[in-house]
């Protein structure tokens, strides 16, 4: 099997020739390739060269194109002030977001009655005073063209690009950046009806952008970021009320288009895993970051979707190669039993991961990953 | 006062623990109108906060509810602050220092910890985010605070935690301060590796540690 067939088989809950390998790559590409994070983020050509070198050297089947290290994408996609290495932060820092309340309570009504673009125009002009709708659209076109070209470079290198579009997540996730997370938590109690109405408008307006992007670049997976709507942050009943409608809308529409939703679940989702069991069988990917109990996830969701994860960042950065090998072996033997598993890191490889520990993941696949 | 006072205070603690924001403020106003001593009000709000903490620990409440309770508490305390000051009973349980370490600007976890510590009666010197060792050293010297809290979300900031502890040691202050660490990437093991004194798995642990230090 080639990488493409291997990933497809895993998603279809069939048994591939071996467990696919697909760690999450962004800033570590700079560490590994000896460039600064500032260069990785500001120079698209150096970024894609670093991504392809890293993924090729470690024989990955699927890779992100360091999407989460692309300033244009982060700036246009996340309604919070982006701080960049080399500009606002030391040149080898990862980027970070400065969260302030750039959105007022009244702005929910802008989203509800006028839609996503007027809402973004209102909020983004407060975050970035120099940004206009016109400049944002020009930037978006440039970023989209660059990403499409990078996705093609990954395909040409014989690997599978992980996603054709990144959705920030449910509306609550998106709005929590604009409102600031403390205000968003207060709004859940004070203005749930506004969040419900805003969420409906958000999901209806954002999804066409995602589907259009995937139609253009041909990478038929859509990343759905899920962290602040997790049961680490909010009660499962609030998730069911305010977030699940978004997730159902996204998932069913995406699948109807023949595209695979990739749930990127950061923090501990153990208490909410059952909500994902309602989705069509063998059509989704569940990507876990090591805070969710992946062994429990296999029990709850193993018959529904492929599980992807979850070598912890503390392990790749701080522990020994043997410890990484041991954990990968356990994942392969237990989560990979009978298929339905993609070996990956728990969220992005940390900046300070040891190369020998990333190599251990590849070695673990060679040693224990083959099904026959 | 008397029976009405007791009923109001019990209702205050319960409404607060149940996170009924408006009801909490309404009962608070009744307490103020009935000349309930401000210390009694604070005591019952703190009891409500203890219950919130217990429910969080047991998994019945979530982080959003912890944050929500902190905001209600802050609003309630702001309402009775003039009464506390007039009564001359604003003494804190102790002073400690908190900061997100150099190289990291995440402040959510740190702010939740500070809110809970404040609710528990501690005075917290908040150094903000991206805080280098020298700032901790200067603040420990100036304040004499016996407890320092270091927060981070990033594994890449572990070396910053180590640098801060080294800076405190070099300044001859390590024997005078206890250091607690917290943040989603931290662990008991990290505490041992860098030579900190306490590891807090969540925000309520920080309150337990502070109560232990200032006992």
Q: pLDDT by residue (tens digit) across B157-197?
A: 888 999 999 999 999 999 999 999 998 778 998 999 999 99
User: Could you give the angle at the alpha carbon of B157 between the alpha carbons of B98 and A124, nearest 5°?
Assistant: 80
pLDDT score of B91: 65
User: Which one of the listed residues B38, B44, B69, B104 is annotated catalytic?
Assistant: B104
| A-chain residues near B21 (CB < 8 A) | 189-190
Q: Mean of the per-residue pLDDT values for chain B? A: 88
> What's the mean pLDDT in A225-233?
94
Structural contact between residues A291 and A282, judged by C-beta atoms closer than 8 angstroms: no
The reported pLDDT for the residue numbered A370 is 98
CA-to-CA dists, residue B14 to B17, B21, B31, B59, B111, angstroms: 5, 11, 14, 18, 25
Mean pLDDT computed over A5-20:
98
Please report, rounded to a whole number, the percentage of residues in chain A having pLDDT higher than 90: 91
Instruction: Give yes or no for residue B119 having a pLDDT over 60.
Output: yes
Q: What local confidence, expressed as pLDDT, does residue A40 receive? A: 97
Q: CA-to-CA distance for A55 and A162, rounded, in angstroms?
A: 12
- Please, what is the end-to-end C-alpha distance for chain A in angstroms? 13
Q: Is A63 helix (H, G, I), strand (E, B) or coil?
A: strand
- What pLDDT, in 10s, does the model give residues A178-210? 999 889 999 999 999 999 999 999 999 999 999
Region A198-223: what's the mean pLDDT? 97
State yes or no: is B106 an active-site residue. yes
pLDDT band at B88 (very low <50, low <70, confident <90, very high): low
Task: Check: CB of residue B152 under 8 Å from CB of residue B100.
Answer: yes
* pLDDT-derived band at B3, boundaries 50, 70, 90: low
Predicted pLDDT at B185 = 79
Q: What is the rounded average pLDDT of the residues B114-133?
A: 88
Q: How far is A141 from chain B, CA to nearest CA, in Å? A: 30
The end-to-end CA distance of chain B, in Å, is: 32
- Confidence at residue B67, expressed as pLDDT on a 0 to 100 scale: 86
Give just the sign of the alpha carbon dihedral A70, A75, A79, A81.
positive
Nearest CA in chain A to B156: A352
A348–chain B Cβ distance below 8 A for any pair: no
Q: Does B184 touch chain A (CB under 8 A)?
A: yes
Instruction: Give residue A156's pLDDT.
Output: 97
Average pLDDT over residues B110-117: 84
Could B155 and A189 be called an inter-chain contact, meaning their C-beta atoms sit closer than 8 Å? Answer: no
What pLDDT score does B81 carry?
78
Judged by a CB distance cut-off of 8 A, whether residue A231 touches chain B is yes
**pLDDT above 90: residue B46:** no
Predicted pLDDT at A309: 94
β pairing state of B94-100 and A260-265: unpaired
Residues A311, A319: Cα–Cα separation, whole Å: 11
Closest CA to A252 of A226, A225, A278, A273: A278
Closest CA to B152 of B183, B176, B108, B189: B183
Selecting from B68, B103, B104 the residue whose C-beta is nearest the C-beta of A186 gives B68
CB-closest option in A83, A235, A291 to B62:
A235
Whether B209 has a pLDDT exceeding 90, the answer reads yes
**pLDDT mean across residues, chain A:** 96
Q: What is the pLDDT of residue A269?
A: 97
What pLDDT shows up at residue B89? 58
State the smallest CA–CA distance between residue B135 and chain A in angstroms.
18
Lowest mean pLDDT among A257-261, B118-122, B125-129: B118-122
Total residue count of chain A as it appears in this document = 372
Strand partners, A288: A265
The structure tokens listed for A211 are: 């589907």
Does residue A234 come out as left (phi exceeding 0), alpha (psi in the -120 to 50 range) or beta? beta
HEC per residue, chain B: CHHHHHHHHHHHHHHHHCCCHHHHHHHHHHHHHCCCCHHHHHHHHHHHHHHHHHHHHCCCCCHHHHHHHHHHHHHHHHHHHHHHHHHCCCCCCEEEEEEEECCCCCCHHHHHHHHHHHHCCEEEEECCCCECHHHHHHHHHHHCCCEEEEECCCHHHHHHHHHHHHHHHHCCCCCCCEEEEECCCCCHHHHHHHCCCEEECCHHHHHHHHHHHCC
Q: What is the CA radius of gyration of chain B?
A: 18
List of long-range contacts for A154-158, beta carbons under 8 Å, 24+ apart = A154/A48, A154/A51, A154/A52, A154/A55, A154/A63, A154/A65, A157/A52, A157/A55, A157/A56, A158/A2, A158/A3
Average pLDDT over every residue of B55-75: 89
Residue range A308-313: mean pLDDT, rounded: 96
Given a cut of 80, whether residue B107 has pLDDT beyond it is: no
B103 part of contact set with chain A, CB < 8 Å: yes
Residue A163, pLDDT above cutoff 80: yes
Distance from B106 to chain A by nearest Cα, in Å?
8
Least CB–CB distance from A185: residue in B64, B106, B185: B64
Tokens read off for A70: 């692309």
Check residue B2 and give its pLDDT: 65
pLDDT score, position B74? 85
What pLDDT band is residue B6 in, cutting at 50, 70 and 90?
confident
Instruction: Assess A359–B contact: CB distance below 8 Å, yes or no.
Output: no
pLDDT digits (tens, 9 = 90+) for A264-281: 999 999 999 999 999 999
pLDDT given for residue A353 in this prediction: 96
**What is the ipTM metric for this complex?**
0.88
- Of B199, B165, B184, nearest to A346 by C-alpha is B184
Span A277-305, average pLDDT: 97
Ramachandran sector of residue A159 (left: φ over 0; alpha: ψ -120 to 50; beta: rest): beta
């Amino acid at each position: 099997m080639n990488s493409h067939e291997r990933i497809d088989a895993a998603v279809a809950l069939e048994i591939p020739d071996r467990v696919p390998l697909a760690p999450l790559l962004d800033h570590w590409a700079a560490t590994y390739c000896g460039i600064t994070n500032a260069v990785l983020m500001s120079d698209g050509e150096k970024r894609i060269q670093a991504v392809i070198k890293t993924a090729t050297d470690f024989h990955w089947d699927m890779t992100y194109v360091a999407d989460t290290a692309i300033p244009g994408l982060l700036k246009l996609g996340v309604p919070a002030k982006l701080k960049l290495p080399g500009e606002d932060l030391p040149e080898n820092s990862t980027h970070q977001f400065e969260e302030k309340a750039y959105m007022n309570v009244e702005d929910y009504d802008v989203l509800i009655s006028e839609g996503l673009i007027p809402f973004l125009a209102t909020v983004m002009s407060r975050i970035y005073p120099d940004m206009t709708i016109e400049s944002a659209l020009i930037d978006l076109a440039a970023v989209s063209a660059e990403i499409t070209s990078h996705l093609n470079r990954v395909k040409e290198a014989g690997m599978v690009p992980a996603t054709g579009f990144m959705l920030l997540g449910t509306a609550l996730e998106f709005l929590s950046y604009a409102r600031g997370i403390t205000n968003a938590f207060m709004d859940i109690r004070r203005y749930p009806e506004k969040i419900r109405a805003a969420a409906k408008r958000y999901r209806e307006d954002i999804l066409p952008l995602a589907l259009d992007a995937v139609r253009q670049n041909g990478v038929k997976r859509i990343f759905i970021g899920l962290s602040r709507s997790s049961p680490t942050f909010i009660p499962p009943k609030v998730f069911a009320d305010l977030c699940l409608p978004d997730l159902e809308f996204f998932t069913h529409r995406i699948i109807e288009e023949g595209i695979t939703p990739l749930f990127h679940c950061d923090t501990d989702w153990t208490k909410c895993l059952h909500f994902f069991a309602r989705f069509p069988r063998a059509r989704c990917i569940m990507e876990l970051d090591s805070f969710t109990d992946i062994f429990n996830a296999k029990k709850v969701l193993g018959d529904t979707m492929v599980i992807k994860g979850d070598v912890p960042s503390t392990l790749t950065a701080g522990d020994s190669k043997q410890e990484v090998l041991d954990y990968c072996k356990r994942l392969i033997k237990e989560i990979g039993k009978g298929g339905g598993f993609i070996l990956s890191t728990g969220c992005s490889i940390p900046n300070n991961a040891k190369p020998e520990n990333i190599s251990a993941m590849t070695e673990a696949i060679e040693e224990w990953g083959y099904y026959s | 006062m008397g029976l009405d006072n007791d009923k109001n205070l019990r209702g205050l603690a319960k409404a607060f623990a149940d996170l009924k924001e408006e009801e909490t403020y309404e009962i608070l106003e009744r307490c103020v109108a009935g000349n309930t001593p401000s210390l009694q009000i604070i005591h019952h709000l703190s009891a409500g906060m203890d219950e919130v903490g217990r429910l969080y620990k047991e998994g019945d409440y979530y982080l959003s509810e912890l944050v929500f309770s902190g905001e209600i508490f802050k609003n309630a305390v702001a309402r009775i602050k003039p009464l506390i000051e007039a009564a001359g009973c604003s003494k804190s349980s102790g002073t400690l220092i908190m900061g997100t370490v150099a190289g990291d600007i995440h402040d959510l976890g740190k702010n939740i910890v500070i809110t809970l510590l404040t609710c528990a009666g501690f005075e917290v010197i908040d150094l903000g985010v991206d805080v280098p060792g020298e700032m901790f050293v200067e603040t420990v010297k100036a304040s004499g605070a016996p407890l320092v809290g270091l927060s981070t979300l990033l594994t890449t900031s572990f070396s910053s935690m180590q640098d801060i502890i080294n800076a405190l040691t070099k300044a001859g202050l390590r024997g005078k301060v206890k250091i607690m660490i917290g943040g989603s990437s931290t662990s008991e093991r990290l505490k041992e590796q860098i030579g900190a004194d306490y590891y807090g798995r969540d925000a309520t642990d920080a309150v337990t540690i502070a109560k232990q230090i200032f006992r």
